[in-house]
Amino acid sequence: QLLKDYKNASNRLIFLDYDGTLVGFTDDPNDARPDAELNEIVDGLTSDEKNQVTTISGRDRKMLTKWLGDFPLHFIAEHGVWSKRKGEDWELPDGLNNDWKDEIRDILELYVNRTPGSFIEEKDYSLVWHYRKVETGLGELRIRELTSHLKYITATMDLLVMEGDHVVEVKSSVINKGVAAKKWLDKSADFILAIGDDHTDEDTFKAMPSIAYTIKVGINSSMAKYYVDNYKEVRKLLSAMLSS
C-alpha cells in the first residue's frame, strides 16, 4: 500500500533519520559516511521533483553538509537545533545558548577518565558521551551513574539528558526533531513518510499527521505505525519506492 500511495502521489514529504536508519552504527561516528548504495538511493529520491526529502539527524551540520551536501536535500541537524532548506542558509531558533556546556563538559570528562574507550563529541549546542568502545558491563554501569548524575545537575537548567545507542547526549529541552519537522509539514502533501530508529525520532512520529507512514527501525516500543528490523530493510524499502 505504501508503494502504491507513493507512486500515485504528486507532493511527497520524506523525513529520514541518519544513524541507525540509513547507515549502521560504527565504533567511530566518523566512519558512518554514506556508501555508494546510499548515495544512489539519495540521488534517486532527490532527483524526483515530486519529492521533498529531509535528513533529520542528531549529527552536527558540518558533518551532514560534508557527507550529503551535494544533494538537493533539506537538513535538520542536532535534533532540530539547526535547519536548512535546500539552496538556503542554515537557521537557528531564537533563545538558544550553550553557556551550560563548560559545567557539563567537566562532568563528562570525569567519566571519560574513569571509563577507558569512552569519549566526548561536541556539537554546537549539545554534548555527547560515547561508550560503544567500552568493555561490556562497564559501559552499562557507567551510563547508569552518568545519566543519574546529569539528570540531577540539569534538573533546573532547561536541558534534556537523552540516552541513545551507546551514547548519552545533553541538549536544550526547548527544541527537538518533532518541533523542527512540524514547521516543514505541507498541508498539500499527499504522501508523508518518516523513518527513525531511536527515542529522539519519537518526537518526529508524534508530529506527523494521521496520513503519514511512520516507521520505526527496530522492535522497541514506538509511536510509529510500522517497523522494520534494520537499516538494510530501510534501504530496501527506499529502493522499492524508486522502482515503483
Active-site residues, by number, are: 17
Q: Which amino acid is at 149?
A: H
Cβ atoms of 187 and 179 within 8 Å: the answer is no
| H/E element, 56 | strand 51-56
SS3 139: helix
Query: CB count, 10 Å around CB of 49?
Result: 8
For 163-194, letters b (16+ CB in 10 Å) and e give ebebbbbbbbebbbbbbbbbebeeeebebbbb
Whole-Å CA distances, 165 to 58, 91, 96, 139: 12, 27, 26, 12
Q: Kindly give the pairing relationship between strand 119-122 and strand 74-77.
A: unpaired
